[in-house]
Structure 1
Amino acid sequence: MKPRIGLISNPKSERNRKGLERMRARIDAQPEIIHRELAPERPLDDILRELAGAGIDILVCNSGDGMVQAAMTSLLEKSIFERPPLLAIWPRGMANMTAADCGLRSRGWSSLERLIAAANADRLDEIRLRRHVLRVDYRDDRPVQCGMFMGALGIYDAIRICKGSVHKHGFKGEWSHAITLAGLLAGSLFRGLEALGIDGHDVRLRVDQGELLDERLLLLLCTTLDHLVLRSRPFWQTEGGPLRFTRIGHPPLGLVRNAWKVLYGGEPRRLPETHYRSLGAGRVELWLDEPFTIDGEFFEPLRTRPVRVTAFETLDLLRV
């Protein structure tokens, strides 16, 4: 029996605003696919319940990182499915960082065709990836969130700058990431990060069952992805657990000089350990005083309690 595919499209995702209309007829012509679109009267969880009732085997998210993050949260936290389906991420958003690492390999129709062909030929095991997923418990009056990347401090500021200054000039996707990174490094060299609106933050943190640490940091990130924007790998010495946790102190010693090693260096990185720290963990607790991001979506923590990040649960994704 051929696997049943549920496809959820977000019409507001960057690539779907113009391209979805052309694809609807192609999608509807595929008998294996149950296609639904997000709408105010049809929220994500309602669609997921319908697809669970239909017995789908594969869930395709035709969207950007934001809807993927919401879908992961629903799959792992709300018990909509008895067992989560295989997840395929069709990169049709602005950034698509998650899809670039563990999703379908292109945003075109051919990517979905390859997925359908693999499903019909019983080759899904050949394209299956099992990935740990972040679980972020950040306040008592809000639901837990799941995703693949959590960033705070300077990363939150950089995303804000990218969305506010770079996107409005027409630069999207990887171009916007490259321009933002280059601008921040140049600004750091010639003007200082403070002139760009990026400053240090006093953060209390704990890794696993270790001691409480009070540090002044430029940025921090937690992820289970193998690569981030621009195929970077800003994590090292990560044998201690599935959660990759990197933090950079403030002021950052030799930020411009060390940027390549931080983003693309091998092992060992030979970075100043007092300012550049990375490790693998099972649990990280963070006391934050400003919003943080999970896969591009922003969340507001409480100063009175820690943000608790773990990565013990997994999802199976399809990459073809």
Structure 2
Amino acid sequence: MTERFALIHNPRSRRNGKDDGTFRNSAARLLGPLFVGPSSREHVLDAVAELARREVPTIAIDGGDGTVSEVMSAIYRHYPADALPALAVLPSGNTNLIASDVGFGLRGIAALDRLAALARDGGLRRRVVRREALAVRWSDPDRPVTLGMFHGAAAFTRGVAIAHRPAIDRFSHDVAVGVAIASSIGRLALRSTRRKWLGGNRITLAVGAEAPREQDCFLFLATTLHRLPHRMWPFAPRTGAEGMSYLNVRAYPPHLAAATWNLLRGRSPEWLDACPAYERGQTDRLALRIGEDFVLDGEILNSGPDGQTVLSAGPAFDFIQGVA
């Protein structure tokens, strides 16, 4: 029996913008009303609500991390918690960190053909990996929960703002962030910006059930992904499948150049693990108050009037693997 699947296609994503119409036409012929090309975030919500009404069990997402975040957030609002659809992530965006860990492995016509073949054989869920989403909640109860998989604040927000500049934004996001980080490190050599960047942001942080503590934070990262592109891994080695990995770098961190070199290469020398300025761990809950914007899956979001957000792990999704 042929399985049903829907395809949400972001026509504004970097790679999809180069499509001459061949892919869109093929997808529309194959899927009919289950092919959706939303023009706005509101359209995504409406489309996912209709898919939930139809009880569509699998959704392919053709876009970058921002599109995946929008679709997962809409699923959280409209699908029953015990009947979440499986997802197939086609890496077509400016930010593809999620696809580097749980992506389908194909995009374009090749991905469409593979999805159709798996559906005909009843094998869409034959090979999946399970990951928790990273949920962001604000203190305002009327603000909807947003799901993503990679969160960053403090210096990371400034770095992403640099990466979004027109001179850099033509590159893929992981390359652009690398350029942005290099630019940020370079700014530390300038007396006019060194103190501002190294001094970080005043935050209040509570890890798990711990009491909140105030500190000046240079860099904050959290993710539910299990790997990043180019073997980067600034977090501690994971000790299980569940929970968020996080990195909290205090203001004026010692040995920053050496620490950056090791963290980006996924290394954990003893001196780094023993240094309290570089706090790394794994938890299911982080309460973060920061009076600045933060980044979720490449998108800059505001932290609300009081700056208070809560990050939590879950719900979990099955991500379909298209290639071995």
TM-score, normalization: structure 2? 0.88
- Alpha-carbon distance between aligned partners in 2 of 1:213 and 1:234, rounded to the nearest angstrom: 22
Q: Taking structure 1 as reference, are residues 41 and 278 closer, same or farther at Cα in structure 2, changes over 3 Å only?
A: closer
- Alpha-carbon distance between aligned partners in 1 of 2:249 and 2:42, rounded to the nearest angstrom: 42
Letter in 1 for 2:288: L
- Alpha-carbon distance between aligned partners in 2 of 1:59 and 1:193, rounded to the nearest angstrom: 49
Deviation of 1:31 (Å): 5.3
RMSD value, Cα: 2.7
Secondary structure class of the residue paired with 1:179: helix
Q: Answer yes or no: is the 8 Å Cα contact 1:205–1:286 preserved in 2.
A: yes
Q: Taking structure 1 as reference, are residues 109 and 185 closer, same or farther at Cα in structure 2, changes over 3 Å only?
A: farther
**Equivalent residue number for residue 112 of structure 2:** 112
- Alpha-carbon distance between aligned partners in 2 of 1:126 and 1:15, rounded to the nearest angstrom: 28
Q: Taking structure 1 as reference, are residues 295 and 234 closer, same or farther at Cα in structure 2, changes over 3 Å only?
A: same
**Equivalent residue number for residue 263 of structure 2:** 262
- Alpha-carbon distance between aligned partners in 2 of 1:128 and 1:247, rounded to the nearest angstrom: 31
Q: Taking structure 1 as reference, are residues 304 and 40 closer, same or farther at Cα in structure 2, changes over 3 Å only?
A: closer
Q: Answer yes or no: is the 8 Å Cα contact 2:287–2:310 preserved in 1.
A: yes
Q: Answer yes or no: is the 8 Å Cα contact 1:101–1:228 preserved in 2.
A: yes
- Alpha-carbon distance between aligned partners in 2 of 1:94 and 1:112, rounded to the nearest angstrom: 20
Q: Answer yes or no: is the 8 Å Cα contact 1:148–1:223 preserved in 2.
A: yes
Q: Answer yes or no: is the 8 Å Cα contact 1:65–1:97 preserved in 2.
A: yes
Q: Taking structure 1 as reference, are residues 138 and 116 closer, same or farther at Cα in structure 2, changes over 3 Å only?
A: same
1:242 paired with 2:243, answer yes
Secondary structure class of the residue paired with 1:176: helix
Q: How does 1:1-320 map to 2 (within 5 A)?
A: 1-19=1-19, 21-30=21-30, 34-39=34-39, 43-79=43-79, 83-140=83-140, 141-164=142-165, 166-167=167-168, 170-188=170-188, 190-191=189-190, 194=193, 198-199=197-198, 200-236=200-236, 238-239=238-239, 242-266=243-267, 270-271=271-272, 272-302=274-304, 304=306, 306-320=308-322
- Alpha-carbon distance between aligned partners in 2 of 1:110 and 1:193, rounded to the nearest angstrom: 51
**Structure 2: runs of 5 or more not aligned:** none
Secondary structure class of the residue paired with 2:6: strand
Deviation string, structure 1 residues 41-96 (Cα, Å, up to 9, x no partner):
97112111222333422101111211210111111233368712111111111111
Letter in 2 for 1:5: F
Letter in 2 for 1:283: R
Aligned-residue sequence identity (percent) comes to: 26
Q: Answer yes or no: is the 8 Å Cα contact 2:41–2:70 preserved in 1.
A: no
Q: Answer yes or no: is the 8 Å Cα contact 1:4–1:32 preserved in 2.
A: no
Q: Answer yes or no: is the 8 Å Cα contact 1:238–1:280 preserved in 2.
A: yes
**Structure 1: runs of 5 or more not aligned:** none
TM-score, normalization: structure 1? 0.89
Deviation of 1:196 (Å): 10
How many residues in Structure 1 have an aligned counterpart in Structure 2? 318
- Alpha-carbon distance between aligned partners in 2 of 1:223 and 1:192, rounded to the nearest angstrom: 33
Secondary structure class of the residue paired with 2:314: coil
Deviation of 1:312 (Å): 3.3
Q: Answer yes or no: is the 8 Å Cα contact 2:87–2:319 preserved in 1.
A: yes
Q: Answer yes or no: is the 8 Å Cα contact 2:203–2:290 preserved in 1.
A: yes
Letter in 2 for 1:299: L
Q: Taking structure 1 as reference, are residues 203 and 318 closer, same or farther at Cα in structure 2, changes over 3 Å only?
A: same
Secondary structure class of the residue paired with 1:245: strand
- Alpha-carbon distance between aligned partners in 2 of 1:35 and 1:237, rounded to the nearest angstrom: 39
Letter in 2 for 1:21: G
Deviation of 1:40 (Å): 5.1
- Alpha-carbon distance between aligned partners in 1 of 2:97 and 2:248, rounded to the nearest angstrom: 20
Q: Which moved more, 1:254-263 or 1:107-116?
A: 107-116
Letter in 2 for 1:86: A
